[in-house]
């Protein structure tokens, strides 16, 4: 599809949707509890002899060497199901073979999925001996290329029927669900908010099931300090989040997802604050070459696991419409969107209503096909004749955003660094003469940037039975050290009480926040491992089981099948998802320390 509008429209929606996705902080733990989770090491202890060889095989210098190739222009940003990714996967598989790991992927020549199932029965290639396998686990993905969305309005007044067609990139930004047409009556639901604690409910007495819902973005009273949405700190943070200076945190409140639970056919948003000219400027702006938007002449490409349930992009993300279009839809009510907004804001009281005689149709046409991609899987076998059938899994995504015209997203930190971390551990365990009792499986995932596709596929097609999988360690972005500013931001985000003596002892460059599932004894494993590494660790026990409260990376796939998990992520920087995320900015020293920490933690889990 040609229209630039679609790309920028999507970014606009995303921008607005993100505005609606204020980072919902988990309830803030008390400062003294937070301090308990800060682990500083006065004197680094020597590593136990039996794990020493592997530990010392991990070096910052080798990490940067591996990363220089993985994040080179040659691999074109390693986008899922592209040549660049395949080159990276083959490279990793050849190193796994060089280090004498055992393959845990598909049988040679046998494509993945259903045919493997047919060929080898329910366990797929699980029951096969390693020498009959490869290091690559193939998966089929559904590729959907951007289509075009057309919205038309039919308004009935008595015997008169008026139709109007709205144009993408002029009247609205964003698109509907690929290859779906929705036609339904329309209702106006104010800001689309339900906040019981202040007795505010835009949906009271309004039936939105199967209807198209028109709402305003954000919330009432943005510029009114006396508004309940301003006076209540949580609501203010939720609906008017201070614009994050650095990449947003995934997860948290999402107004559209909340409304989606009420079962509407579609949601149209009109910007509550700001002018139509802003929307038009956005929609007509040329693509920013270095950004991860696709150049104008390239349709956007999205991937999904076939039969894997609807992906976020296959559910309604909301379309942003101009005020002019909103007023055309509201015509039969005799009211304008501006008047309705003023009415609501004046008393912080809803003004929701059915829009008599109005029916909208949202029709989206796009093209889809199946493509193939692969995870890389290799393992070292445990030394115990029984426990070797149990496994500790260590993983990281190898894919990134690819290229946009001449601009390549090298993804050195995201997630070339994590992939190198997994390679570091694979080589270390292979080099370490004494193997732990249980086996250790090393995984490089595809499709994380597209929705955790590779790891979600794996937990449905595991190389080792899930009930024999004792833990999963995830590495994502482990190469950028904190600096004072980043640490200050992180302290705020983690509610670490600034100014306390202990906090003053933190060395930003050694700071690492590690998240992990609750109740699996992982905090002790980390504390013990860190005695031999000396990072300034901040332990974040996850309150949820989904793992999403600690960042949406591949550990969430394992959390979803209730496998204990650990997740390491270093500093978030301005280079996140930018073409500027390149190897010369990484710290080999930090990669060495985080890899060594995970090596010792994985060894302890596999040997206990
Ligand atoms: Zn990542």
Distance 497 CA to ligand 1 centre (A): 28
Distance 478 CA to ligand 1 centre (A): 10
Distance 205 CA to ligand 1 centre (A): 43
Under the banding of pLDDT at 50, 70 and 90, the label for residue 119 is very low
Provide the token pair at 19. 């505005």
Task: For 513-527, write each residue's pLDDT tens digit.
Answer: 999 998 889 999 999
Distance 395 CA to ligand 1 centre (A): 12
Distance 346 CA to ligand 1 centre (A): 44
Continuous segment of H or E residues that includes residue 581: none
pLDDT at 298 over 80: no
Distance 367 CA to ligand 1 centre (A): 27
Could you tell me what percent of the chain has a pLDDT over 70?
A: 84
pLDDT at 455 over 90: yes
Under the banding of pLDDT at 50, 70 and 90, the label for residue 23 is very low
Distance 508 CA to ligand 1 centre (A): 21
Distance 70 CA to ligand 1 centre (A): 14
Task: For 52-76, write each residue's pLDDT tens digit.
Answer: 999 999 999 999 999 999 999 999 9
**Of 1-10, 108-117, 327-336, 555-564, the least confident:** 1-10
Provide the token pair at 249. 């945190």
Alpha carbon separation from 527 to 41, 117, 264, 534 (Å, rounded): 9, 42, 48, 10
What is the SS3 assignment for 209-272?
Answer: CCCEEEEECCCCCCCCCCCHHHHCHHHHHHHCCCCCCCCCCCCCCCHHHHHHCCCCCEEEEECC
| Other Cβ atoms within 10 Å of 315 Cβ, number | 13
Distance 416 CA to ligand 1 centre (A): 9
Domains, the chain, ranges and CATH? Answer: 143-367 (3.50.30)
pTM beyond 0.75: yes
* Backbone phi and psi for residue 326, each to the nearest 5 degrees, phi listed first: -60, -40
pLDDT of residue 292: 57
Interatomic CA distance for residues 51 and 226, integer angstroms: 62
Distance 15 CA to ligand 1 centre (A): 20
pLDDT at 309 over 70: no
Interatomic CA distance for residues 105 and 123, integer angstroms: 13
Interatomic CA distance for residues 176 and 147, integer angstroms: 9
Task: Find the mean pLDDT for residues 366-392.
Answer: 96
pLDDT of residue 29: 62
Distance 582 CA to ligand 1 centre (A): 14
Distance 449 CA to ligand 1 centre (A): 7
Tell me the pairing of strands 200-201 and 194-195. antiparallel
Concatenating the DSSP letter of every residue in 274-320 gives S-HHHHHHHHHSPP-TTSSSPPTTS--EEEE-TTS---GGGS---EE
Interatomic CA distance for residues 252 and 310, integer angstroms: 20
Neighbours of ion ligand 1 (CB under 5 A): 414-415, 476
DSSP 30: P
Distance 371 CA to ligand 1 centre (A): 22
Distance 447 CA to ligand 1 centre (A): 10
């Amino acid at each position: 599809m040609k229209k630039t509008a679609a790309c920028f429209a999507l970014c606009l929606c995303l921008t607005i949707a993100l505005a609606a996705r204020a980072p919902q902080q988990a309830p803030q733990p008390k400062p003294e509890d937070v301090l308990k989770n800060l682990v500083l090491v006065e004197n680094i202890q020597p590593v136990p002899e039996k794990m020493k060889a592997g530990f010392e095989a991990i070096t910052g210098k080798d990490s940067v060497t591996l990363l220089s190739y993985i994040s080179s222009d040659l691999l074109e940003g390693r986008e899922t199901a592209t040549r660049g990714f395949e080159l990276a996967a083959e490279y990793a598989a050849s190193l796994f073979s060089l280090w004498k790991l055992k393959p845990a992927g598909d049988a040679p020549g046998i494509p993945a999925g259903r045919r493997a199932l047919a060929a080898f029965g329910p366990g797929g290639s699980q029951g096969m001996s390693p020498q009959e396998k490869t290091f690559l686990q193939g998966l089929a993905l559904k590729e959907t290329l951007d289509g075009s969305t057309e919205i038309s309005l039919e308004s009935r007044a008595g015997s008169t029927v008026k139709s109007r067609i709205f144009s993408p990139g002029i009247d609205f930004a964003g698109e509907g669900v690929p290859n779906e047409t929705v036609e339904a009556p329309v209702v106006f639901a104010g800001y689309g908010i339900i906040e019981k604690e202040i007795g505010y409910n835009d949906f009271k007495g309004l039936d939105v099931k199967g209807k198209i819902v028109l709402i305003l973005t954000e919330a009432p009273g943005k510029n009114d300090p006396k508004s309940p949405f301003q006076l209540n700190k949580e609501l203010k943070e939720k609906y008017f989040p201070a614009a994050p200076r650095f990449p947003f945190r995934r997860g948290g409140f999402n107004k559209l997802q909340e409304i989606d639970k009420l079962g509407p056919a579609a949601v149209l948003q009109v910007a509550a604050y700001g002018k139509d000219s802003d929307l038009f400027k956005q929609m007509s702006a040329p693509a920013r070459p270095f950004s991860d938007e696709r150049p104008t002449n390239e349709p956007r490409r999205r991937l999904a696991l076939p039969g894997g349930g609807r992906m976020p992009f296959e559910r309604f993300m909301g379309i942003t419409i101009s005020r002019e279009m909103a007023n055309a839809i509201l015509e039969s009510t005799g009211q304008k969107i501006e008047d309705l907004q003023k009415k609501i804001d004046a008393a912080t009281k809803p003004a929701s209503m059915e829009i008599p005689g109005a029916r909208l149709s949202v029709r989206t046409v796009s093209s889809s096909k199946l493509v193939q991609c692969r995870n890389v899987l290799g393992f070292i076998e445990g030394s115990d004749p029984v426990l070797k059938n149990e496994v500790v899994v260590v993983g990281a995504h190898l894919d990134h955003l690819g290229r946009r015209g001449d601009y390549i997203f090298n993804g050195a930190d995201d997630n070339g660094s994590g992939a190198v971390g997994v390679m570091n551990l694979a080589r270390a365990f292979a080099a370490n003469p004494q193997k732990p009792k249980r086996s250790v499986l090393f995984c490089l995932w595809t499709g994380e940037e597209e929705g955790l596709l590779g790891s979600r596929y794996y937990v449905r097609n595991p190389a080792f039975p899930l009930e024999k999988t004792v833990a999963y360690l995830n590495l994502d972005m482990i190469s950028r050290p904190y600096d004072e500013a980043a640490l200050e931001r992180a302290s705020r985000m983690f509610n670490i009480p600034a100014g306390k003596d202990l906090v003053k002892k933190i060395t930003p460059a050694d700071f690492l926040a590690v998240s992990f599932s609750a109740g699996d004894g992982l905090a002790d494993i980390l504390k013990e491992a860190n005695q031999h590494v000396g990072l300034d660790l901040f332990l974040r026990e996850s309150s949820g089981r989904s793992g999403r409260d600690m960042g949406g990376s591949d550990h969430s796939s394992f959390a979803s099948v209730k496998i204990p998990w650990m997740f390491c992520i270093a500093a978030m920087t301005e280079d996140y998802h930018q073409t500027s995320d390149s190897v010369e900015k990484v710290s080999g020293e930090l990669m060495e320390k985080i890899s060594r920490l995970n090596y010792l933690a994985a060894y302890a889990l596999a040997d206990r």
